[in-house]
Structure 1
């Protein structure tokens, strides 16, 4: 295809995918008529995201390495599905297993009432230890889960979007640790993996936002600051860690998981229609000092 024809085609496609100024502001966060895939759905952030999507009118496909959800708040997720007339599915899936991801998607697409138009990748792990002693196997595991797992699920979602011909939005959960190092903890592997998630989101946004004939897929990342959860409780037991972490940001406190609902819904929904290849940092000002 000649270059001028490529540009003309992309111009038409871009016009067709732009935001609608007649959309009420209240609907810019709505996800009606969409199915959203959430990985790590049994985790502290995954359950919050799942419940939020259901409340916003979407259906949710939950993927997690666990056989069944173990989160204490899972009953609230199921209640949200009932209350908001949403559909909720849970599939066991190892996001690092290419064949397993393919099989999971083959099974899950058969029961959908709405096309898949969203992805939030909450699946991820952290590990720490002195770099002089940190095992290569542990380093590879961090990259495999946090980066390769994100890519494989994003790839599977993109294939479904191609089949259905709809637009979509992906949100990769990265971290402020992709920008800076964490004081008081040795997390070279984790930090490196989250920096890779930033670059992965930019690269996929470039590819899936400009390819002729492919439905627009916006890809952004979200970088949380420190979150007060059971996962950070152990680190906070270290003497002086609480005061250090809270003092390292401009709001002088740790975040709570509910504070990421609106940012994620914004990135998923039409309110962010002109946003792709970007990172939304929600860190209390930690990286802005």
Structure 2
């Protein structure tokens, strides 16, 4: 029998001392709890980001929301503030462009001084999409989509990993990808967006491989969550195109669009200890769109 390498021994020791081992002897409800943890949420002022933030607060975690807008929309943000007050949790909002490495570094330096619990996770929701036929799609617009969706996701994941490296605590990173990283969507010209989300899938697998067992690193799990079509005020504008609503609803097996609230439980599962043996994977929540 071959002896374990020193790197593997180190990784095994980290798992034994700092990481729940499947939670076999813990109540099931605890597997979704986030007590004593701060979770960073990018795109934290948007529809999906605020839904994730509320779920984290309700599950015992503190939340730091990062978003490019100076002040989030009040109709999105007020429920988050109410949840923080109701459950006695710490909630921070920091303006930050995730595509700018200096801004990300400044944001984390600011956050570090205000934490009540250590950073233990990330939900990377920040992303943009631009539509247009590829024959005339501007190169600058294509680059911008990649900068926000891919580079921005990487920069914040990197910053969270470095916080975990300092504290030597385990963590879980959830990168919001899309079913559009698996397939092309009929009726919309979104080559840049689709390409960026496929890149997020590969980014998660690559980071999971690096941070799951590397010597000197705590255990950091990295997974993606791939939503299907979500009914929001923004998607409602796209559905004004004749036939688009029927097509989007008919393209999946449940014959409807999702709501942001339907991603709360998947986010909590990926962040929490219930998914302790899951890394480098994609959780597709698309109503069966990709399963035809």
**2:91 aligned with 1:101:** no
Matching of residues 240-255 of structure 1 within 5 Å: 240-255=243-258
Asked whether the equivalents of residues 46 and 76 of structure 2 are also in contact (C-alpha less than 8 Å), the reply is: no
Superposition map of 1:1-289 within 5 A: 4-16=5-17, 17=19, 18-289=21-292
Runs of at least 5 residues in structure 1 that lack an aligned partner in the other structure: none
Contact 1:42 1:71 in 2 (8 A): no
Distance 1:184 1:131 in 2: 14
RMSD over aligned CA atoms reads 1.2
**Moved beyond 4 Å, runs of 4+:** none
Distance 2:96 2:76 in 1: 20
User: For 2:66, what is the secondary structure of its paired residue?
Assistant: strand
TM-fit CA distance, 1:12: 2.6
> SS at 2:257's partner residue?
coil
**Conservation of the 8 A alpha-carbon contact between 2:201 and 2:282:** yes
Conserved 8 A contact 1:45-1:122: yes
Cα distance, 1:73 vs. partner?
A: 2.9
Write the distance in 1 (CA, Å) between the matches of 2:6 and 2:117: 33
CA displacement at 1:185 relative to structure 2: 0.6
Alignment TM-score, normalising by the size of structure 2: 0.96
CA distance in 2, matches of 1:201, 1:57: 26
Deviations 1:196-221 (A, max 9, x none): 00000000000010101211000000
Number of residue-to-residue matches in the alignment = 288
Q: Secondary structure at the match of 2:113?
A: helix
- Secondary structure of 1:90 counterpart: strand
Quote the Cα distance in structure 2 between the aligned partners of 1:201 and 1:73.
28
| Offset of residue 71 of structure 1 | 4.2
Q: Once the two structures are superposed, what CA deviation does each residue of 1:157-176 show, in whole Å capped at 9, x if it has no partner?
A: 11111111110000000000
User: The residue matched to 1:63 in structure 2 has which SS?
Assistant: strand
> TM-score of the superposition, structure 1-length normalised?
0.97
1:252 CA drift (Å): 0.5
Q: For residues 68-87 of structure 1, what are the alpha-carbon distances to aligned partners after superposition, in whole Å with 9 as ceiling and x for unaligned? A: 11241311111100110101
